[in-house]
Structure 1
Amino acid sequence: MNTNRIFKKLLNIAVISSIPFLANAQKANWQNLDLKADSVFGIGTEKAYKELLKGKKSTRVIVAVNDGGVDAEHEDLKRIMWMNRNEVAGNGKDDDKNGYADDIHGWNFIGGLKGSVDHETLELTRLVRRDQVRFANTTDANVTEKDKKDYEAFKVERSDLEKQLGEANANLAGLMGFKNALDAVIKKIGKENPTLEDIASFKPATNADVRIQEILGEELKKGSFTNFYAEQITEGVKYYSEQVNYNLNLEYNPRDIVGDDPNNDKEKFYGNNDVAGPDAMHGSHVAGIIAADRTNKLGIMGVADNVVIMGVRCTPNGDERDKDVANSIRYAVDNGAKVINMSFGKAYSWDKTIVNEAMKYAASKDVLIVQAAGNENKDIDTENNFPNHKDLDEKTIASWITVGASGPKDDESLKASFSNFGKTQVDVFAPGVQIYSTIPGSKYKNLDGTSMASPVVAGLAGLIRSYYPKLTAAQVKEIIVKSVVKVNHNVSYKKGEGEDAPKVSVPFSDLSISGGIVNAYNALKLAATYDGKSAAN
C-alpha cells in the first residue's frame, strides 16, 4: 500500500494539489460530471442517470473494497454496507460455516486476538531481512553457482533499502528543520493561525525567515495556515517518521498481532472481523467513491446506486503481504462479490504466484478485479508494480482492469502528475485528482491518487453489472475499455525525480491500452447493445 500513499513531496514540504477553475459546487462531485456539459473531464455518471437509467430496474451487486479498512458506521456508507445475513452478529460462532466467525461486513486478514496491524514494513524490507540471514556468510568470492542469482538479487535489494532509508532520514531531517524554522516565525508573529496579511507585514530577521515568508505567502493564497500546517507539515513529519520507524526498519515486525504463520501461504483461516481496523481513512474514501448513498441527501454521491460494499482488510500502512492479498481475493469471491477494488501495489513481491492463482480463481468465478496503477509517475510496462498482468493468461487479464489517474482539465495536465502509466499494463484512466469522499467519523475529504481513480472504475463496473446482470466480468471490462472518451492530444509530465527532471510531452494515447478516460454514459449505452455475446480476448 505504500506505493499508493496520498502524500507527495516537493523540495522539503508536501504539496497538496488543487483544482483550479472549478466552482465549489462542482468540486465535490467532479468525477461524475460531463466534459461537454460541465467543462470538467468527469465520467458522465449524472448524465447517464438522467438520460439512460431513469425508471430502469437494477439488481444489487456486491463490490468488495480490499483495502486498509472501511468505516461501516459512516453516515454515507452505513446503508450500503454488505450484511452477511447468514451470520449472527456477536455470538463468536461461524454460523455460515465459511471459516470466519462474525464476519458481518467482511473480514480483516491483518488482525487477530491481539488487535489489528496498523504500521507494517515494505516488502523490500521483509525480503532483505529474510535474505540477510540466508546470505550472512556469503561473499562474491564464495557464493555457489546455485545461489548466485538469488545473492545478486539480495545485493540489489539491500542497496535499494539503504538508499530509501537514507533518503527518508534526510527528508525527515529537512522537514523537521523547516518545521522548526516555521514554528519560530509563527512564535514571532504571535498568532497560531496567521493570515496572508499577517505574513506580509512580518519583518524577517534571517534568511530562514525570508524563505518561510515566501513559502507562506504562496501557500496562504490557497487556504488557511491551519490547513497548510496540518496537511503538509504534520502529515509530512508523520509520513517520513513512519518510513524510518516502520516501513524501512529491519527490526520492526508487527505480525505477532495476527498470530498466523506468515510463511505458510496455504493458511487461510486467520484474522478478525474488524473491517475498520486502526486506520480506515483510505478504504472509507475508496468505498464512498464507489457507492456513497445517493438517496440520503448527505455528503456525496457514489458512482453506483445499487451496490453494497464488502470490507476486506488486507493492506496496512506499509506494504501488503501476498498471502493476505490472495486470501482477501478468495474471501470476496467466495462470499458473493462480483467486483473487487484493489487500490494498492508495491515494487517487490514475496510470492507473486499465490496472488496470480487468486486472480485466476476470481476470473474463473466471473469476478472483475479493478486495480490502481500506482503513484510513482513510472512506466509500469518496464518497472515492476505488483500485482501485474505480465505472466497471466488471457482469460485472467480479461477480468482485470488496471487504472491510471487523470485530472479535471482537458489539456496537457490531463494525466495526473503522480500517475503511473503503461501502454500494455494500464487499461484506462479515470478521475483521481482532488476527489471528495468519505473518511472515518462521518467526515469528508479531498484526496489524490490512482487509489481514487480505481474505485471510480469499480463503481462503474458495479453500475453496469447492476443494470445488466447477465454480462460477464470479461464483457464488462471490454465495455469499459471500448467506451472510453479518446484523448487526441499530448500531455506533459516530468520524466524522472527531482526538481531538475525534464518535462516531456507525449500523446495521451501512449499511456494506456485504451488511450482514453472511462465514461459511464458511453459504457451504459454500449452495454445495452450486448446480448450475451462473448467478450473478445
Structure 2
Amino acid sequence: MNKHKIFKVLLTTAVISMPFIADAQKANWQNLDLKTDSVFGISTEKAYKELLKGKKSTRVIVAVNDGGVDNQHEDLKRIMWVNPKETAGNGKDDDKNGYIDDINGWNFIGGPKGSVDHETLELTRLVRRDMARFANTTDANVTEKDKKEYEAFKVMRSDLEKQLGEANANLAGLSGFKNALDAVVKKIGKTNPTAEDFAKFKPESNADARIQEVLAEELKKGSFADFYEDQITEGVKYYSEKANYNLNLDYNPRDIVGDDPNNDKEKFYGNNDVKGPDAMHGSHVAGIIAADRTNKLGINGVADNVLIMGVRCTPNGDERDKDVANSIRYAVDNGAKVINMSFGKAYSWDKAVVNEAMKYAASKDVLIVQAAGNENKDIDTENNFPNHKDLDEKTIASWITVGASGPKDDENLKASFSNFGKTQVDVFAPGVQIYSTVPGSKYKNLDGTSMASPVVAGLAGLIRSYYPKLTAAQVKEIIVKSVVKVNHNVSYKKGEGEDAPKVSVPFADLSISGGIVNAYNALKLAATYDGKTTTK
C-alpha cells in the first residue's frame, strides 16, 4: 500500500515545500473553481449551484477498497452502505454470498482472531520466496533454465538491501533530528512554542541553529503541535515500520487470516471488520468521495448521493494480489458501480489474478479508479501494479488512473511526489493538502495520489447518480474529455536525492488527457452525451 506521507524535514538542509493554501480554503479547495476561487479545484460547488440544483439522482454504491473505513465517523456513518440482505450480528450468512455478517462490506486481511495491520512489501515476499528456491545457487552453478529468474532474484535482493539501508539511515537521521528538536523545546520551556519563541531562541550549537532555521520556515505554515505530529512523530513511525515490518524478511503476519496466501482460487476468508486496526487512509479516502453534505459537520464530499462500501484489502505494507482480486469481485458482486483503489506497488506476485478481476469488473459495467502512485516516476517505463499494460481495450475503457495536482496553476501544478505517464495516467486531480475524515470523528490534511483518486471516484459516482444510463466506459470518457487542459510547462525533480536536477516539461506530456478533472464540465458533457464512442 502506498504510504502517502510527505516528510518535509529532510536529513539535509533541503526542505520539501508544498503549495500553501489560505486557511479559509483548506477544507474544501478540491471542490472549488479556478476562475472564481483562484485554486485549481474541480468546480464541484459550481456544478451543484448551477447544474444540479433541483435535479433528481439515483443512489450509487462506491466501494473503498483500502485499509479500512471508520463506519461510525460523524461525517461517514449516514452514507455507509448497509447490506439489505444481511441481519447484523446473528453469525449467519443470510444472503448466502459466502461472507457472514458483511453489513458494511468485508475485510480480506482479517480472520477469527483479529486483523492484519503491518505487512511486508511484495518485494520482501518475493525475495523471501526466491531465497529458499536459490539457497544453493551461485553464478557458477545456476542452470540455463533458471538463469533468467535467478538474475531477477539478485536484482530484487539488491533493491531490498538498498531500501532497508535507506530506511535505517532515514530513521537514524530523523530520530537524531527529533532528539535535537526536543532539546531545543526543553530549553525554550514551552510544550507548544510559536515562531516568535524560536526566533528569540539563542542557539548554543550548530544543531540548535539548524533546528531554529527549519522551524522558522515550518511555523509559517501551521502550529508546532501539527508539525511535530505530522512530520516528526509520523516520520519516525513511518521509517520504523519500513525497517521492522515492510522490509523485514523474518516478518509474516498472514497466520492471522488463516488462509492459504498462495491459493488464488480461495475466496471465502476474512472477517466483517471494515474498520480494522488502522482506518486513517481509507476513512480519508471515503470522506473525499462522499462525506455527508447535509449534516453541517466537517467537510463535504464530492458526491451527494452515494453510499460507501468498505472493502479492506490493503495493510500497512503492500497489498497481496489475491486480496485485491477478491476485493474487486466482492465489490462488483454486491452492487458497487465505482471502485476506488488508492494503492499500488512496484512488484507483483500474481498480476494475472488481478487482471482477471479487473476484466470481471469491466464486464459488469463497474468503473475502477486507481491512484498513480507517489514516487515521482514515469510509470510508462517503470512498473506500478496494477497497470494497463497487458489488458484489453474493454478493460482499459472502464479504468481510470489518476495523478495528483496542487492548488496553484503554475509550474508546481504537478504535485512533487506524483507519478505520471503519457500512456498510463489518464487524468490529474487535486491531491495536496486535502482535508478529510480520519478515525474518531476527526479531520486531517493529507497529501498523495491516494487523495486525488477519490476526487475522481467521487466525480464518477456523481455522474452515475445523475445520469444512471451511462455506462462505466462512457463515464470514463466524459471525465477524460472534460478536463481543464493545462497549456504550460511544469517543473519537477528528475531522479532522487537533493542533487537531482529539475526539469521543465509540458503538463500535457504527463497524462493521456493533459488536464485536471472538472465536475462542472463533466456534468455539462454528460447531459448532452450520445455515448457512441469510447476512449481507451
TM-score range, shorter chain: over 0.9
Paired residue type of 1:488: N
Task: Tell me, yes or no, if the aligned pair for 2:80 and 2:309 is still in contact at 8 Å.
Answer: yes
Paired residue type of 1:208: A
| Structure 2 counterpart of 1:214 | 213
CA–CA distance in 2 between the matches of 1:189 and 1:262?
53
1:203-282 mapped onto 2 (5 Å cutoff) = 203-282=202-281
Paired residue type of 1:303: V
1:317-466 mapped onto 2 (5 Å cutoff) = 317-466=316-465
CA–CA distance in 2 between the matches of 1:514 and 1:319?
29
Paired residue type of 1:172: L
Task: Tell me, yes or no, if the aligned pair for 1:286 and 1:451 is still in contact at 8 Å.
Answer: yes
Question: Is 1:503 the equivalent of 2:505?
Answer: no
Q: Secondary structure at the match of 1:178?
A: helix
Deviation at residue 230 of structure 1 after TM alignment: 1.3
| Structure 1 counterpart of 2:87 | 88
| Structure 1 counterpart of 2:74 | 75
CA–CA distance in 1 between the matches of 2:219 and 2:39?
26
Q: Percent identity?
A: 89
CA–CA distance in 2 between the matches of 1:346 and 1:324?
14
Paired residue type of 1:36: K
Deviation at residue 333 of structure 1 after TM alignment: 0.3
CA–CA distance in 1 between the matches of 2:46 and 2:163?
46
Task: Tell me, yes or no, if the aligned pair for 1:406 and 1:415 is still in contact at 8 Å.
Answer: yes
| Structure 1 counterpart of 2:511 | 512
Task: Tell me, yes or no, if the aligned pair for 2:489 and 2:507 is still in contact at 8 Å.
Answer: yes
Task: Tell me, yes or no, if the aligned pair for 1:117 and 1:254 is still in contact at 8 Å.
Answer: yes
Label 1:25 to 1:84 Cα distance change in 2 as closer, same or farther (>3 A): same
Q: Which moved more, 1:193-202 or 1:506-515?
A: 193-202
Task: Tell me, yes or no, if the aligned pair for 1:17 and 1:434 is still in contact at 8 Å.
Answer: no
Unmatched runs of 5 consecutive residues or more in structure 2: none
Deviation at residue 206 of structure 1 after TM alignment: 1.6
Paired residue type of 1:200: A
Q: Secondary structure at the match of 2:339?
A: strand
Deviation at residue 19 of structure 1 after TM alignment: 4.0
Q: Secondary structure at the match of 2:191?
A: coil
| Structure 2 counterpart of 1:7 | 6
Task: Tell me, yes or no, if the aligned pair for 1:76 and 1:442 is still in contact at 8 Å.
Answer: yes
Q: Secondary structure at the match of 2:368?
A: strand
| Structure 1 counterpart of 2:57 | 58
TM-score by length of 1: 0.98
Deviation at residue 233 of structure 1 after TM alignment: 1.0
Paired residue type of 1:247: N
Label 1:536 to 1:166 Cα distance change in 2 as closer, same or farther (>3 A): closer
Q: Secondary structure at the match of 1:496?
A: coil
| Structure 1 counterpart of 2:529 | 530
Deviation at residue 5 of structure 1 after TM alignment: 2.3
| Structure 2 counterpart of 1:152 | 151
| Structure 1 counterpart of 2:175 | 176
Deviation at residue 15 of structure 1 after TM alignment: 6.3
Cα RMSD for the two superposed structures: 1.3
CA–CA distance in 2 between the matches of 1:103 and 1:161?
37
Q: Which moved more, 1:6-15 or 1:400-409?
A: 6-15
CA–CA distance in 2 between the matches of 1:134 and 1:185?
52
Q: Which moved more, 1:263-272 or 1:229-238?
A: 229-238
1:38-70 CA distance string (max 9 Å, x none):
111111111111111111111010000000000
Task: Tell me, yes or no, if the aligned pair for 2:414 and 2:490 is still in contact at 8 Å.
Answer: yes
| Structure 2 counterpart of 1:313 | 312
Label 1:530 to 1:196 Cα distance change in 2 as closer, same or farther (>3 A): closer
| Structure 2 counterpart of 1:478 | 477
Q: Secondary structure at the match of 2:445?
A: strand
| Structure 2 counterpart of 1:31 | 30
Deviation at residue 181 of structure 1 after TM alignment: 1.5
Q: Secondary structure at the match of 1:308?
A: strand
Deviation at residue 9 of structure 1 after TM alignment: 5.3
Task: Tell me, yes or no, if the aligned pair for 2:9 and 2:214 is still in contact at 8 Å.
Answer: no
| Structure 2 counterpart of 1:111 | 110
1:245-269 CA distance string (max 9 Å, x none):
0000000000011010101111000
Unmatched runs of 5 consecutive residues or more in structure 1: none
Deviation at residue 16 of structure 1 after TM alignment: 7.6
1:343-384 CA distance string (max 9 Å, x none):
000000000000000000000000000000000000000000
CA–CA distance in 1 between the matches of 2:17 and 2:308?
28
Deviation at residue 149 of structure 1 after TM alignment: 0.9
1:310-356 CA distance string (max 9 Å, x none):
00000000000000000000000000000000000000000000000
Q: Which moved more, 1:115-124 or 1:141-150?
A: 141-150
CA–CA distance in 1 between the matches of 2:198 and 2:109?
46
Deviation at residue 214 of structure 1 after TM alignment: 1.6
1:183-203 CA distance string (max 9 Å, x none):
222222222222222222222
Task: Tell me, yes or no, if the aligned pair for 2:3 and 2:316 is still in contact at 8 Å.
Answer: no
Q: Secondary structure at the match of 1:229?
A: helix
CA–CA distance in 2 between the matches of 1:87 and 1:430?
36
Label 1:9 to 1:224 Cα distance change in 2 as closer, same or farther (>3 A): closer
Deviation at residue 219 of structure 1 after TM alignment: 1.9
Deviation at residue 534 of structure 1 after TM alignment: 4.7
Deviation at residue 218 of structure 1 after TM alignment: 2.0
TM-score by length of 2: 0.98
| Structure 2 counterpart of 1:134 | 133
Paired residue type of 2:155: V
| Structure 1 counterpart of 2:201 | 202
Task: Tell me, yes or no, if the aligned pair for 1:16 and 1:232 is still in contact at 8 Å.
Answer: no
Task: Tell me, yes or no, if the aligned pair for 1:4 and 1:343 is still in contact at 8 Å.
Answer: no
Paired residue type of 1:523: A
Paired residue type of 2:393: E
CA–CA distance in 2 between the matches of 1:116 and 1:104?
17
CA–CA distance in 1 between the matches of 2:454 and 2:395?
20
Label 1:107 to 1:15 Cα distance change in 2 as closer, same or farther (>3 A): farther
Task: Tell me, yes or no, if the aligned pair for 1:169 and 1:244 is still in contact at 8 Å.
Answer: yes
Question: Is 1:186 the equivalent of 2:185?
Answer: yes
Deviation at residue 232 of structure 1 after TM alignment: 1.0
Deviation at residue 514 of structure 1 after TM alignment: 0.3
What is the aligned residue count?
535
